Amino acid sequence: MNTNQSLASQRFPRSSSYHPEWVAACVSGGANSLWLTEWLTEAVDLRPGMRVLDLGCGRAASSIFLRREFDVQVWATDLWFSADENFQRIQDAGVGDGVFPIHADARSLPFAAGFFDVITSIDSFVYYGTDDLYLNYLARFLKPGGQLGIAGTGLMREIEGAVPPHLDEWWSAERPYCLHSAEWWRRHWERTGILDIGVADTLAEGWRFWQEWIKTIAPDNVTEIRAVEADAGSHLGYVRAVGRRRPDANLFEPILSIPAQYARKPLLRGANE
């Protein structure tokens, strides 16, 4: 497949200006991070100088995109990919003055409360954000009124019962039980009272972009290609959700450690009585 043609899309004009070899070299997952970032930023209010946490940034392509396209400051944070490699990529992209690579676990972030104007997460949030308590933890790093936006692979509707036969081979191999629908994310966030949800939707023809990306960067992954093609958008696609931290949100402090307070007691009844 001609990579140069396949990674150019009228739907994503900003992303299409980036060299296809550079985009391919930044692969860190099963989605085109620039396409998803561009789609997400259509629903997020970004202004020059804002502090943005790009959580689960992979090889930092999304972070570089955010800096170049919107002139924001970005903390490119990831656990799996090297901050040293990302630093070199950031420098080569000419955005070292505004993108800062961080190696950190999404559940143990080294930032001050209320530090960020915006938190974004591209095709990564499903790995930790489905935890019922995680939003309370993450929202602490957003200033009141700050925005949280996620975009990535997901479901068009929740799968109730058995997995459809045309997805069984891929589902059995990948076990993507963390994938959910946009409406699931809306409910997951709304019930906490932490965010006002502005957007929870799906990308039109998202399955086609998914299929195009996999065919381009992983043509040997025939199991996934067949599954996405057979599904044709019935269950699989791209989802996004955006919310703002409510100023009156009641956040509880996470428990980071329990003080030692051991007191020796009899082990068995009758002992020392």
Q: Dump pLDDT digits (tens) for 29-64.
A: 889 999 999 999 999 999 999 999 999 999 999 999
The CA distance from 23 to 37, in Å, is: 13
Q: Look at residue 103 and tell me whether its pLDDT is greater than 80.
A: yes
**Mean pLDDT of the 186-197 span:** 97
The CA distance from 197 to 139, in Å, is: 13
Per DSSP, what are the bridge partners of residue 142? 116
Do 120 and 209 touch, CB atoms closer than 8 A?
no
174 within a domain of the structure (yes/no) = no
114 within a domain of the structure (yes/no) = yes
151 within a domain of the structure (yes/no) = yes
267 within a domain of the structure (yes/no) = no
User: What is the reported pTM?
Assistant: 0.93
With a CB cutoff of 8 Å and minimum separation 6, the contacts of 8 are: 16, 20
Model pLDDT, residue 1: 44
Q: Look at residue 3 and tell me whether its pLDDT is greater than 70.
A: no
CATH number for the domain including 62? Answer: 3.40.50.150
108 within a domain of the structure (yes/no) = yes
- pLDDT tens, position by position, 153-189: 999 999 999 999 999 999 999 999 999 999 999 999 9
161 within a domain of the structure (yes/no) = no
28 within a domain of the structure (yes/no) = yes
90 within a domain of the structure (yes/no) = yes
Number of folded domains that form the chain: 1
Supply φ then ψ for residue 228, to 5 degrees: -65, -40
**Mean pLDDT of the 123-127 span:** 97
Task: Give the range of the structural domain holding residue 103, as residue numbers without chain letter.
Answer: 3-156+179-205
